[in-house]
Structure 1
Amino acid sequence: MSTFTTRPEILGLFGVVTSTHWIASAVGMSMLERGGNAFDAAVATGFVLQVVEPHLNGPGGDMPALVYSAARGKVEVICGQGPAPAGATIAHYRSEGLDLIPGDGMLATVIPGSFDGWMLMLRDYGSLDLRTVLEPAIHYAEHGHPVLPRVSQTIAEMAEFFRTEWPTSYAMWLPGGAPPRPNSNFSNPTLAATWTRVLAEAEARRGREAQIEAARDAFYRGFVAEAIDRFVSDTSVMDASGSRHKGVLTGADMAGWQATVEASASYDYQGWTVHKTGAWGQGPVLLQSLALLSGFDMAGIDPNGADFVHTVTEAMKLAYADREVYYGDSGAEPPPLEALLSDQYNRQRRALIGKEASFDLRPGQLPGYEALFERSRAFLSAMDGKHGVVFEPTMGHLAEERGDTVHVDVIDRWGNMVSVTPSGGWLQSSPTIPELGFCLNSRAQMFWLTPDLPNSLVPGRRPRTTLTPTIALHADGAAMAFGTPGGDQQDQWQLSFFLRHVHHGLNLQEAIDMPLFHTAHIPASFYPRSREPGHLMIESSAPAATLDSLAARGHKLELARPWTVGRLTAARRDADGLLRAAATPRLMQAYAIGR
């Protein structure tokens, strides 16, 4: 018996593209139609998303990607997450009167990583030339696109702040002094000119790879970096701290950095090997959650029932608590993932999942890490007392003023796969650089200004990002790529989706359409870094019996309107080569295309 879904699960053999905006998905599919592979399609899709979802990502942002190359036969991580600049020291930020890094403005900026990440993907994995993948984004920036209602709303809400504090953003986003009307045509000719100049400088060289390298030079060592350097050094702006600050990013910081290719972290679950970024990002919390849940009969639990929601939520609380103690780009002492994913450790941790909702933050203790554990526990306890009472309802997504994220999944006819979660450089994250038509990111807000923690601010260190795409490979030859925007909720929504698909036979669209839930029990990665012990948001479309049982178990329920939580997209290749794709109906933007 089939289940009603909001849209069909897309099926085909040629290729599938799914993303958080229908125009971007169509552009990605056009790359496949022109003979490009999954990597070409992802790059073109990613650049278009910077134009059509500017409140969720931009050229100054970041983009970790999981890629599977059929030729290489393995999953790899492309790290387009820029690190902290040389001048980003705890001492400097403390001297500015800060104990938390603001969520916006110039001090929240790290080196922009997305452009180099996309260029690395195109050069080493793609096949099309730079002009082909950039032209759609240039077209929509120059000639316009129907502005999303949420973009219009975001600009309207920021209008007075832009007018009084960030005049370059006011000029960019409110031409004529008014925000663009929802669904009206909106263009960004300055950004189009920036990309056109990058392309012109690239095409002064001969050869596909040489042109891609020239584009990287133009951005990180040429006119783009020079414009960023001038703007940052000359600009002091109001930010979330209530004071004005200058940034510390320089052209020299940009010139000395490049995106990298790294090994993934992985965990074997029910025949699937699930791949994530390393613990410099939050991705392994999904792996830890699976390790905890491997001791439960998840297949025997109603995927829409209270036992499912409770068990998954309590497992996530434990995994995310470990994130706070052990995760970060700590360099010489990498996070102890092998120990965190071990059977022995998870047997002990699994015993903490009881019948009632937990309210304590309970990280686990690992032998050899006693000092770090005590240091982190003392710090988190102090933060709980200082910031834990501050709670902003999460709703289904981050508030418009804070920005969010986009996501792309692609599989081509050869079996190449991409799962990528671009973010940062939101129009509301920092003032627009008038020469370039885009703004910088605010990823540094995820660092702590207390030393000797895995996620402490250190020059050259990557912030512990929430961006967390996923690729999973099955022993029978099947494969999946999936992900979602949503900050700290990303791995929470992905976990429910994956469990429902794997254990309960739901197809991709059925699993995406089911009522979603998440907890804000753990410290937020975003300013002001608050948490709400025992919190559980769930869509009110969940069965009444489920909601009643969860409340009886002590969960502090926050009911969300139906179809408001999560922005999942997913693609799958079956063992026989059949391709599948799906996209969330929530926000009425995401779209899956394939044939």
Structure 2
Amino acid sequence: MNWGRPQLSGTFGAVSSTHWLPSAAAMSVLEKGGNAFDAAAAAGFVLQVVEPHFNGLGGDVPIVSYRAATGRVQVVCGQGPTPRAATIGAVKQLGLHQIPGSGLLPAVVPGAFGAWMRMLAEHGTLPLTKILDHAIGYAENGFPLLPGAADAIEVMAPLFETEWPESARVYLPNGRPPAAGSRFRNPVLAETYKQLLREATAVPGGREAQIAAAEKAFYQGFVADAIDSFVSTTEVLDATGHRNKGLLTGQDLADWQAPVEESAHLSYGDWTVHKPGPWSQSPVFLQQLALLGGFDLRSMGLGSADYIHTVAECAKLAFADREAWYGDPDHGDVPLETLLSPAYTAERRTLIEAKAAATLRPGSPGGRHPHVPEHVADSVPPAREHWMNQIRNGLPTVVRAAEARTDTCTVVVADRFGNMVAAVPSGGWLKSSPVIPGAGFSLGTRAQTMTLEEGHPNSFGPRRRPRSTLSPSLVLKDGKPVLAFGTPGGDRQDQWTLGFFLAVAEFGLDLQAATETLAFHTDHFAASFTPHESRPKALVVERNCDPEVVEDLRTRGHEVELVPEFSLGKVCAVGADPERELLLAAASPRGRQTYAMAR
């Protein structure tokens, strides 16, 4: 199937996101005189409203951006840390071998609001009212409910009715699940946004003072109080089959502010790719590029068996290093410089053979011994309800057999001033944690990605950032931003976006055509989300792959699983063409939901 969407181009602004309403909000903000930072934030808050099954106000977001005025790339880390009370012993004393993927035990500090506020304070131009008014309008007046959200609510409705009553009040209007496409409202969430604005606008001073006041209201005021009151007094049924309290407190929120960091980056030909650091999985994108730099991909041909095999085998090596070495660098030994070094990469590249690798092979950077956590599943009673099987899987989506799962959100923006922003919001999913009474949103459950084994960079512990799967990308050429992109997809993000980037960088496709190329990924390594399953040698490929290529891959030892065509990922991208002085936008047709705009 040839979807054949055009690459969009313009001179004023370019936007792409995983939902048409946030894209429209972002363009509206640009038209009101805002810049890319203002527009991305406005879209981010609308995403919290219209994709509640994929992200929320209680979730997290990494943001990578380029500011024309300074000529610098920076990362705002909106991955909130674990609570002070987060210890391995606190979880193990419950008889658990894993941190459950649902409930309150895996809850971390909500980082998304602080990250958007930090970015706006430093780089935005518009008052906070103009940033939040779109989200407030959709939460208060309604929006068409996505089929995926309606599906999740319907499946989880019995749990909401019997165990999570505040979720029932928000998501079961009139006592029943809303239909897909129906006009859905979340007035409680709208009131939370409005109260944040009321407290912001009550302080004297300009926009910076108001942003600081809104942040204080969230992390030290009424939002933190609501979270503290609920988590400290409520036992919640979770994936264990039991009711457990959480560890998060209002003080944990008060102690946190979104940090700004230098990016992790790597040169690939004429391109310099910037990513968040190893507290996310993002550097696996760079490790894959470093490995692939030693192969002549162009001569292999896009979508050929040689190409797919080589890319998949490089992914296996990069993700093996993720399993052994990635985590919060403030609390563990993460030798990222060595992992990206030419000598280490060359050594690792020799492991790629003509046959598919069958085992996980992490490296030994600087002679260090790799530590890959062992994932021991907890014994749980048989599930009598379908929703119990769902909350035992930590993914935000309702999991169905033989379904290509995409989750999370993306927004990317480029403006006429030369700024560019890429963000991948997630967390706070309606499926995984109950709604906070009076707040209208759920907490994020990202701590489930951590291990209960001591001594690993991603070990569970106080005030540590869980290793996130969220992975936005920003690319420079000759020191200027030319590309920003991201996709939903959990562990698979840095494989699906890699295919997009290689289609542009190696094969010269325009942005839209690159989003429509054949997608594939390997599930060779342990999933970040509970129950942390892996499928060694598995290679998932869209069904429109050439049958001869599929057969060739199978002869090489790959266990090829075919999924429906155009079903893997939802890449969103914006770019800049300095020679023609144009801004570019593209959105994958997958999911019939992403939307790009340029003018």
579, 582, 588: which one aligns with 2:583:
579
Query: Map of 1:454-533 to 2, 5 A cutoff?
Result: 454-475=457-478, 477=480, 479-533=482-536
Secondary structure at 2:61 match in 1: coil
Q: Residues of 2 paired with 1:321 and 1:328: CA distance?
A: 13
Structure 2, gaps ≥5 residues long:
381-388, 400-404
How far apart in 2 are the matches of 1:336 and 1:320? 15
Deviation string for 1:231-284 (max 9, x for gaps)?
101211111122211001000100010001100000000110100111111000
Cα separation, partners in 2 of 1:120 and 1:166, compared to 1, 3 Å:
same
Match of 2:558 in 1: 555
TM-score, L = length of structure 2: 0.94
RMSD value, Cα: 2.0
Q: Which residue of 2 aligns with 1:116?
A: 114
Matches within 5 A, 1:370-519: 370=369, 373=370, 376-377=371-372, 379-380=373-374, 399-400=397-398, 404-475=407-478, 477=480, 479-519=482-522
Map 1:187-198; keep pairs closer than 5 Å.
187-198=185-196
Look up the equivalent residue of 2:130 and give its one-letter code: T
Contact map agreement 1:536 1:557 (CA 8 A) in 2: yes
Q: Which residue of 2 aligns with 1:132?
A: 130
- Cα displacement (A) at 1:474: 1.1
- The letter for the 2-side match of 1:171 is R
Deviation at 1:365, TM superposition (A): 1.2
What is the match of residue 170 of structure 1? 168
Shift of 1:129: 0.3
Whole-angstrom CA distance in 2 between matches of 1:384 and 1:515: 34
Alpha carbons of 1:403 and 1:572: their partners in 2 closer, same or farther (altered >3 Å)? closer
Query: How far does the alpha carbon of each residue in 1:569-593 deviate from its partner, in whole angstroms, 9 at most, with x for none?
Result: 1111112321111011111110000
TM-score by length of 1: 0.95
> Where does residue 266 of structure 1 map in the other structure?
265
CA distance in 2 between partners of 1:364 and 1:90 (Å): 26
Tell me the alpha carbon deviations over residues 478-535 of structure 1, each in whole angstroms, 9 at most, x when there is no partner.
5110011111000010111111111111111111111201111111100001101001
Tell me how far 1:404 sits from its aligned partner: 2.5
CA offsets per residue over residues 196-228 of structure 1, 9 Å max, x none?
Answer: 111011100131111101000110000010001
Which string of whole-angstrom CA distances, capped at 9 and with x for unpartnered residues, describes residues 107-161 of structure 1?
Answer: 0100000000011111111000000000010000000001111111110111112
Distance 1:504 1:385, change over 3 A: farther
Which amino acid in 2 is paired with 1:115? F
Amino acid corresponding to residue 254 of structure 1 in structure 2: L
Q: For the Cα contact (< 8 Å) 1:407–1:485, is it kept in 2?
A: yes
Residue in 2 that maps onto 1:305: 304
Paired position in structure 1 for 2:231: 232
The aligned counterpart of 1:209 is 208
Q: Secondary structure at the match of 1:473?
A: strand
One of 64, 79, 96 as aligned partner of 1:81: 79
Question: 2:45 — aligned with what?
Answer: 47
- Please state whether the residue corresponding to 1:64 is helix, strand or coil: strand
Partner residue, 2:385:
none
The answer to whether 1:588 aligns with 2:592 is: yes
Matched residue type, 1:116: G
**1:227 corresponds to which letter in structure 2?**
A
| Partner Cα distance (1:48, 1:553) in 2 | 46
| Structure 1 residue 368 displacement after superposition | 4.3
Conserved? CA contact 1:5–1:510, under 8 Å: no
SS of residue in 2 equivalent to 1:108: coil
Letter in 2 for 1:176: N
Q: Note if contact 1:330-1:455 (Cα within 8 Å) is conserved in structure 2.
A: no
Query: 4+ residue stretches of structure 1 with deviation over 2 A?
Result: 3-6, 382-387, 397-404, 475-478
Equivalenced residues, count: 581
Once the two structures are TM-superposed, the CA of residue 475 in structure 1 deviates from its matched residue by: 2.3
Gaps of 5+ in 1: none
Query: Would the aligned equivalents of 1:142 and 1:192 in 2 still touch at CA under 8 Å?
Result: yes
SS of the residue 2:575 aligns to: strand
- Report the alpha carbon displacement of residue 399 of structure 1 after superposing the two structures with TM: 3.5
Amino acid in the other structure paired with 2:488: P
Deviation of 1:342 after TM superposition, in Å, equals 1.3
Amino acid at match of 1:435: G
Residue 468 of structure 1 contacts residue 490 of structure 1 at CA under 8 Å; is this kept in 2?
A: yes
SS in 2 for 1:107: coil
Corresponding position of 1:94: 92
Decide whether the 8 Å contact of 1:329 with 1:455 is kept in 2: yes
1:5 positional shift: 4.0
Which AA in structure 2 matches 1:560? V
Whichever residue aligns with residue 104 of structure 2, its letter is: M
Per-residue CA deviation, residues 357-401 of structure 1 (Å, 9 max, x unaligned), is 11100001122423xx2xx14x44x759999xxx99xxxx96426
Write the distance in 1 (CA, Å) between the matches of 2:200 and 2:260: 23
Distance in 1, matches of 2:236 and 2:332, equals 36
